[in-house]
Each structure stands twice: as C-alpha cells, then as structure tokens.
Structure 1
Amino acid sequence: MTRTVYVNGEYLPEHEARVSIFDRAFLMADGVYEVTSVLGGKLIDFDGHARRLERSLGELEMKSPVTPEQLLEIHRELVRVNEIEDGLVYLQITRGAPGDRDFAFPDPDTTDPTIVLFTQSKPGLADSAASREGIKVISIDDHRWGRRDIKTVQLLYPSMGKMMAKKAGADDAWMVEDGAVTEGTSNNAYIVVGNKIVTRQLSTDILHGITRAAVLRYAREAQMEVEERPFTIAEAQSADEAFVTSASAFVMPVVEIDGVALGDGKPGPRARRLREIYLDESRKAAI
C-alpha cells in the first residue's frame, strides 16, 4: 500500500511528495522535528511533543505553519488513512526555501516554513525482542553542537554513533563529555543504584525528553528515588541496572556497557517495572 504523507497543507502519495532543493533543512539542517508513537491506533504523549515542538521553533526564531489543533488533526488523519495500529508519526518543520542559499536567514514573518509528516508502521512496537533481552551500549566522545535541548534535524553525529555501535557489535552508544555521560544517540540515559534512578539533569547538554519527564514522574509515584546529576561510564558499569528512554523505545533496559555486563546480564526489575507502568499509563492517556 502506498503511504499517504503530508506536505505543506496537502495529503499526497509518498512518491508525489516534493520539497525545494533550496529548503534550508537540506542546505543548513535548519529545521526541527518530533516523533510521536502510536499504540492501538492512538497517539502517545502528543501534547508533550507539541509543547516541545513549540519551544524548539521559538529557540530557532521559526514560526509554526499550523496550530496545535491542526497538528493533532493531521496526525490523526495520517494514522487513519495509513491504517497505523502500532508505529510512529514523524513531523518536521523547517525554515523553508526563502530564496537562494545564504547563511543569514530572513525575518520569520516573511518566510513560509516547510512542514512534512509521514507515518511508519511498526507492528509489535511495545513488545520488541530488545525490550525483553535488553540492549548493549558502547561509549563515544560527544562531538555535537552545544544546543542539544533543541530537537533539530542535525543528526549526523548521532547517526555516526549508531554505526560505531553497530560495528562494535552493540546496539547503541552513550555519548560522554568532560568524563560524564550526556545521553544516548537518540535517547536519555539512566542508571539504577539500589532504589535510586540516576539521570543527567536538564540543561542545554541534553534533549528534554518527553518520555523522560513521564518516566521520572512515574518512578517517584512508585516510591523510587530520583537523582538528577551526571554519572560516569565507570559508575554505570558498577550500577545495578541501566536503561534508556525515548518516544519509540519507551523504557529500554541496558544490559551491557563497553563490554561489561550489568548484574546478571539481564533486564533489571526496576527498568522492567517502569516500562510496564509507562506503557500502561500511556495507553490510558493516548488520544
């Protein structure tokens, strides 16, 4: 079945979708994005993604071409026409193609942004083999730019990090800066010490994860202690458990870091429990 995508106000077959070669996302990586999961045909944490999108646009002095209400309707329509039961909706807004290539960008009030959305079907998204077995990560130096709190389309280094992990026989990479873990290539990173969940505090160093916020709230409600601070790879290797969170992985246990197995090398009880809670509560609140 040919996918239906959304481009600048039109629902189109994917093979008819076109964006200008002068679009600044293509030339300058001048754009932001969000990924919203779909479970049971409903959107997970949509409001959180919409709020973060608004923040990212504001930080880059870009305007949104749609209202939050219109954005929700577009998501729902794409889920409907593409018959997505479990999967993802990818959204990207760029500064558009205001003219010929130029480092300086024009006044946002005189520029028409580009908006693109498409779906990805992922049957069994919430019950992957990786979630049952856990994943292995390696550590790499963090060479990204300094505004990681803005969810931009500048994903070359995270992509390279994924490939470094793959070549090392691992599943993902944790990035390290000044001796401490910042985050994973596409997720927030955590360790578990006893009943304490440790994760890096919010700043410009990491993405302000929507799933992160929900999981930390659920952890506190489940009487787990939460400590937001940097941690080292050595500390992570000696922890009882570790996990990552993201919109598409939910809560994913980590069982090995740089070749060192955590605990018995299997997903730990707190990561498993947080995944259960997150999925249960998210399904209840899905729209």
Structure 2
Amino acid sequence: MKKILITGANGQLGSEIRVLSPLFPDFDFVFADRSEFSLESESETLSFLEETKADYLVNCAAYTAVDKAETEIELADLVNHKAVAILAKWSFENNCKFLHISTDYVFDGTSEIPLKENDRTNPQNEYGRTKLLGEIACQENNPDSIIIRTAWVYSEFGANFVKTMLRLMNERESISVVNDQIGSPTYAKDLAEAIFKIIETEGWYPGIYNFSNEGKISWFEFALAIKEISGSNCDVKGIPSEAYPTPAKRPAYSLLDKTKIKEVYKIKISDYKSSLEKCLNNLSKNI
C-alpha cells in the first residue's frame, strides 16, 4: 500500500484532501499539521520524514499571512522557501513523489492575458517572493517534482474570502470590495480532486502547472456571486484597490491559464460559480 504524507493537514487544502481520502482506500494517508510537523526545524523535519517514509509527499503547508509576511520575513522564508528545499531534497533522495503547492503571487499582476506556467515571474510582496524561492528550491533539489500554482483559495474550512463575506453580509447593511483585481477563485475541494487525479494517473509528469476554477472575475464580482447564491440583502459596492490599502501589494491581474494541466492530466475544471454553489451549500448544512 502506497503511503501519502500531507503537510499542512489542517489548512483549507489539507482539510479537503482529508475529507476525500476515504474514497481512496488503496492509499495509506498520514496527515501532519503544524503541531506535528512545523517545518521550522530542519532536524525535526528530517526525522519526521525518515519515520514516515512516504511514497508521495503533498506539501500543502505554507506561510500564507500575506500582509504579516511583510514584517515576518524570516518566518515566511523559512516555511515557504527553506523548508521546501528540505522536503524536495529528501523526496528526491528517497524515491518519493513530491507535489508542492504555490501561488499566483509569483507574478507581478501586469499581464492582460491569462498567465502561463512559463511566463516571467516578478513577485511584488514578501509572500510571493518567498513562494517563488520555494519553487526554485523545489526544482533545484528535485527535478522530478510537480508544482501547482493556484489562486484565491476558499473552502468550508479555515479563514477565507467566502466565509468572511458571508459574515460581513450578515453583520452589515453594506460592504465595499475591490473591483480592479482580476482572477478566478479556487475551491479547495476541486484542487484536492485534481491532486488525486495526478497521483492516480500512471504517468508522473514533472513541472509547473496552473489550477483555479474557470471564469474571469474581480473580487467585487466574486462577492456579488456570494450575495446572490446566499440570498443576502447586503449592499455590495465596488471600490478601487487604492481605497483599501494593505501592507502587501496584491497583483491586479492573476488569471491563470489552465491549458497544461487539462491537457497533460485530462483534468476537467469546474466553473467558479458552480463550485461556489457547492461550497455554500455545504456551509449552510453545517450552520
């Protein structure tokens, strides 16, 4: 039985993988959260890897506090970059398939057409910079690795834009959301299913892949869809990014081209709205 180690097990993606794991009884899953596997100590990381001896390692762990990363630079670099190098190197040396999750923030957001995997990277904040360094370390230490760049992740688990909007729409008569940042959201469950498809496919094709749901929208339009599906009466207003300053600069355009992952792994990607409906339906059941 093949063993799969999932890091960042209590995050959005890790939690969705855990939910789906019973559908794959041929695999032995090890779910490691930060308390068991923090990635902040090289010796502890290596001893955990040696003890687990996984056949597949899916690295969902990351420092994702984008604004905090502007000041907590060392910690962000430790988790997003240096730890990835250790995981990648160990995986390569121990014949373990390594799949690492990255982000659209490696780009500068100045494109006007969907971003391909080989487009020029130019991160505009510390989070994006450390994630790009993680990608580079991943490929340098393990040329057999797969990297999936994703964007605007949400799910029923953890803190995310969808849950924040639902809460604010319930608390306030009106809210304002930026309308000049363009991309497409990612339902973590859809990404989890794509990861299982990759693992179950006979071929393992290393390299960088993009994944998000289909559609081209702004955060404002995403909020409008949440309002519509949830039946909220809250007034949602669009504002420019300059009216909502943040410590870390966000990319204005981060729409990902998913052609490669669809062609190589025959993965079908859902429209953002249908996936949002599924997520909101699951959230309503848990209220």
TM-score relative to the length of structure 1: 0.23
Write 1 or 2 for the structure with the bigger share of helix: 2
TM-score relative to the length of structure 2: 0.23
Write 1 or 2 for the structure with the bigger share of strand: 1
**Which one has the largest radius of gyration?**
1
